[in-house]
């Protein structure tokens, strides 16, 4: 019997994102997004996959909500496709009421089942037109104004939603979209990959625009919509780090610097109104000026935490490359002794290491002054899962079950032993879906989706494990 517990009102459930599950890319008045364009270009995604059909969730509101209900979830995080609401994206462009009706029906059926919606306004699918008009995230003022208007339309249209997330993982939009070019819109300095782009600075500009747009939407929400119980925040990705050689102060410092380049790049502006010292030192005035971050300070009602993995970090002895986004260091899965951080998964970047989750929760709690935290994503792929043939094999996801048990336990430990204020947990993902550049080869769902057979859904064992683990901890609560 464990001494750990979770409060009775702890919210938990599963997460998804619009482009990864909806499909119906050209239906219901939706305009194209940068992911429609990018995924259609040769060589950008595994097997040329796109989100044109995905899990077909656009046509399956009732069955998706029924699935959540059958898992006993008390919360669901999904994202809104901007170009379904405003097909061209801009502040003077027409609204698509069919898109609003789709999300309204989803929200209504969730609430009817007692499932609390967590709604993300932007999970990477920028309307293509805004990219064509002014290069999207690279134009701070235009982007912030257009995003603010889109946010207003959503706040007005869905007043029942009390938990809003402005941006999902701005690091990914900025770095993968404008520095490495692995994600839409795929800009980078490498001319074999992209005709345009500058990996030494565009991601820093994009990141800055996202922060300003976040701040404007938060202030609008607080001013006109939040009422007594509305909450809004940004969701940041962050992996824990351990020094490659704990006896080398330079590796210890590099491990901390990695956290700052990945997390504090966004969280320091949101909590302190300035960029981290380590980034300013390496990037100088390629990083936009701190004084513009004044309006960003104090714009989180909660910290949205996406967390998956952990790395060993080794400092580099050479000067940083001009396009470096990591903080002049290497990330590894083995330390100096050859210890491995965790077992392999289907994702080259992901190795389970639950202790890192606890440590990162504590680090965030300390650095950002004991914020309310919602874990908005946590989960894993499983090596060779897509090769499984029978339904029995496909639903038997042992590594994922173990992952959820150990990660949820690590979270409960951080709450009990370190007093971290976690209010909710959303597992990634409700179902297998379009895994961006990896297409459909990598699966993160607690539900198997059969893409060859009409997008049929089959609950995997992990779909039960998440709820069982959390509810057992809730039953231990004395509150
Ligand atoms: C989340 O990102 C996303 O929010 C979600 O949409 C996605 O489906 C889920 O993860 C699973 O991947 O090798 O340099 O390309 C997680 C954070 C950060 C993980 C970037 C992958 C790739 C680094 N992601 N990382 S790189």
Dihedral over alpha carbons 380, 383, 388, 393 (to 10 degrees): -60
Q: Is the pLDDT of residue 1 over 80?
A: no
For residue 240, the SS3 value is strand
CA of 235 to the centre of ligand 1 (A): 13
CA of 208 to the centre of ligand 1 (A): 20
Structure-token pair, residue 289: 């000026």
Question: Can you give the pLDDT at residue 478?
Answer: 82
CA of 145 to the centre of ligand 1 (A): 27
What is the pLDDT confidence band of residue 115, given thresholds at 50, 70 and 90? very high
CA of 171 to the centre of ligand 1 (A): 10
Distances (CA, A) of 328 to 134, 255, 282, 322: 31, 11, 9, 10
Question: Which residues neighbour 446 within 8 Å (Cβ) at sequence distance 6 or greater?
Answer: 14, 71, 379, 397, 400, 427, 429, 430, 431, 459, 460, 462, 463, 466
Q: Position of tokens 């509810």?
A: 471
Instruction: Give the residue, by CA position, lying nearest to ligand 1 atom 26.
Output: 349
In this predicted model, what pLDDT tens digit does every residue of 232-246 receive, in sequence order? 999 999 999 999 999
For residue 314, the SS3 value is strand
Nearest to 283 by CA among 260, 310, 309, 306: 260
Distance between CA atoms of residues 357 and 399, nearest Å: 17
What is the pLDDT confidence band of residue 449, given thresholds at 50, 70 and 90? very high
Instruction: Give the residue, by CA position, lying nearest to ligand 1 atom 16.
Output: 237
Chain centroid, CA 79 distance in Å: 10
Instruction: Give the residue, by CA position, lying nearest to ligand 1 atom 6.
Output: 17
CA of 276 to the centre of ligand 1 (A): 23
Distance between CA atoms of residues 327 and 279, nearest Å: 7
What is the pLDDT confidence band of residue 197, given thresholds at 50, 70 and 90? very high
How many other β-carbons are positioned within 10 Å of the β-carbon of residue 380? 27
In this predicted model, what pLDDT tens digit does every residue of 344-390 receive, in sequence order? 999 999 999 999 999 999 999 999 999 999 999 999 999 999 999 99
Question: Can you give the pLDDT at residue 310?
Answer: 98
Instruction: Give the residue, by CA position, lying nearest to ligand 1 atom 25.
Output: 349
What is the pLDDT confidence band of residue 314, given thresholds at 50, 70 and 90? very high
Which phi and psi angles does 9 have, rounded to 5°?
A: -95, 15
- Cα dihedral sign, 160-8-234-434: negative
Question: Which residues neighbour 225 within 8 Å (Cβ) at sequence distance 6 or greater?
Answer: 155, 156, 159
Instruction: Give the residue, by CA position, lying nearest to ligand 1 atom 12.
Output: 435
What domains sit in the chain, N to C, each tagged with a CATH number?
11-475 (3.20.20.80)
Question: Ligand 1, closest atom to CA 235?
Answer: 4
Distance between CA atoms of residues 76 and 427, nearest Å: 9
> Which of 33, 121, 168, 428 has the most ligand 1 atoms within 8 A of CB, as the residue to mutate?
428
In this predicted model, what pLDDT tens digit does every residue of 49-105 receive, in sequence order? 999 999 999 999 999 999 999 999 999 999 999 999 999 999 999 999 999 999 999
Q: Count H helices and E strands in the chain, helices first.
A: 17, 13
Question: If 0-12 CB within 10 Å is exposed, 13-18 middle and 19+ buried, where does residue 262 land?
Answer: buried
pLDDT average, residue stretch 303-315: 99
CA of 217 to the centre of ligand 1 (A): 24
Instruction: Give the residue, by CA position, lying nearest to ligand 1 atom 17.
Output: 237
CA of 383 to the centre of ligand 1 (A): 16
Distances (CA, A) of 125 to 18, 59, 227, 296: 8, 19, 29, 23
Question: Ligand 1, closest atom to CA 348?
Answer: 13
> Which of 349, 426, 441 has the most ligand 1 atoms within 8 A of CB, as the residue to mutate?
349
Q: Position of tokens 């500058």?
A: 198
Structure-token pair, residue 333: 């899965």
Enumerate the active-site residues. 169, 377
- Cα dihedral sign, 447-373-217-184: negative
What is the average pLDDT value for the chain, to the nearest integer?
Answer: 98
In this predicted model, what pLDDT tens digit does every residue of 150-179 receive, in sequence order? 999 999 999 999 999 999 999 999 999 999
Nearest to 83 by CA among 139, 45, 49, 130: 130
Q: Is the pLDDT of residue 472 over 60?
A: yes
Question: Ligand 1, closest atom to CA 176?
Answer: 15
How many residues are listed for the chain in this entry?
A: 479
Distance between CA atoms of residues 324 and 268, nearest Å: 20
**Residues 164 and 116 sit within 8 Å (Cβ to Cβ):** no
Q: Is the pLDDT of residue 208 over 60?
A: yes
For residue 146, the SS3 value is helix
Q: Give the rounded percent of residues in the chain with a pLDDT score beyond 70.
A: 99
For residue 4, the SS3 value is coil
Binding-site residues, ligand 1, Cβ < 6 A: 17, 20, 168-169, 172, 176, 180, 182, 237, 306, 308, 349, 377, 428, 435, 444
pTM comes to: 0.98
Q: How many CA atoms lie within 13 A of 471 on its CB side?
A: 10
């Amino acid at each position: 019997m464990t001494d750990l517990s979770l409060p009775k009102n702890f919210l938990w459930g599963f997460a998804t994102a619009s482009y990864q599950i909806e499909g119906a890319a050209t239906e219901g008045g939706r305009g194209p997004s940068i992911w429609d364009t990018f995924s259609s270009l040769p060589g950008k995604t595994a097997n040329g996959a796109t989100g044109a059909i995905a899990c077909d969730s656009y046509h399956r509101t009732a069955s998706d909500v029924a699935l959540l209900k059958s898992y006993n979830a008390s919360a669901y995080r999904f994202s809104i496709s901007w170009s379904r609401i405003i097909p061209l994206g801009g502040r003077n462009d027409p609204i698509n009421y069919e898109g609003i009706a789709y999300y309204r029906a989803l929200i209504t059926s969730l609430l009817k089942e007692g499932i609390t919606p967590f709604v993300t306004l932007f999970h990477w699918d920028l309307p293509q037109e805004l990219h064509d008009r002014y290069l999207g995230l690279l134009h701070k003022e235009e982007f912030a104004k257009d995003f603010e208007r889109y946010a207003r339309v959503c706040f007005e249209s869905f007043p029942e939603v009390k938990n809003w997330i402005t941006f999902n993982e701005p690091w990914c939009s900025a770095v993968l979209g404008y520095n490495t070019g692995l994600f839409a819109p795929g800009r980078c300095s490498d001319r074999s990959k992209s005709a345009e782009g500058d990996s030494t600075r565009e991601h820093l500009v994009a990141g800055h625009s996202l922060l300003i747009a976040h701040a404007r939407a938060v202030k609008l929400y607080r001013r006109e919509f939040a009422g007594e119980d509305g909450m809004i925040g940004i969701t940041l990705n962050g992996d824990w780090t351990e020094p490659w050689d704990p006896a080398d102060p330079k590796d210890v410092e590099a491990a901390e610097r990695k956290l700052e380049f990945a997390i504090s790049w966004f969280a320091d502006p949101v909590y302190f109104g300035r960029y981290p010292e380590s980034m300013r030192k390496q990037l100088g005035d390629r990083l936009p000026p701190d004084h513009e971050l004044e309006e960003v300070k104090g714009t989180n009602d909660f910290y949205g935490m996406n967390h998956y993995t952990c790395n060993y970090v080794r400092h580099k002895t050479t000067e940083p490359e001009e396009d470096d986004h990591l903080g002049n260091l290497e990330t590894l899965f083995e330390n100096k002794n050859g210890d491995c951080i965790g077992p392999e998964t289907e994702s080259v970047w992901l190795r389970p290491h639950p202790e890192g989750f606890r440590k990162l929760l504590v680090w965030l709690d300390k650095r950002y002054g004991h914020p309310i935290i919602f874990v908005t994503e946590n989960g894993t792929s499983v090596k060779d899962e897509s090769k499984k043939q029978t339904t029995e094999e496909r639903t038997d996801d042992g590594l994922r079950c173990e992952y959820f048990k150990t990660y949820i336990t690590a979270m409960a430990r951080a709450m009990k032993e370190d007093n971290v204020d976690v209010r909710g947990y959303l597992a990634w993902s409700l179902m297998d879906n379009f895994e961006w550049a990896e297409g459909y080869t990598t699966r993160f769902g607690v539900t198997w989706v059969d893409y060859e057979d009409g997008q049929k859904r089959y609950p995997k064992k992990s779909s039960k494990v998440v709820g069982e683990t959390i509810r057992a901890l809730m039953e231990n609560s004395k509150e």
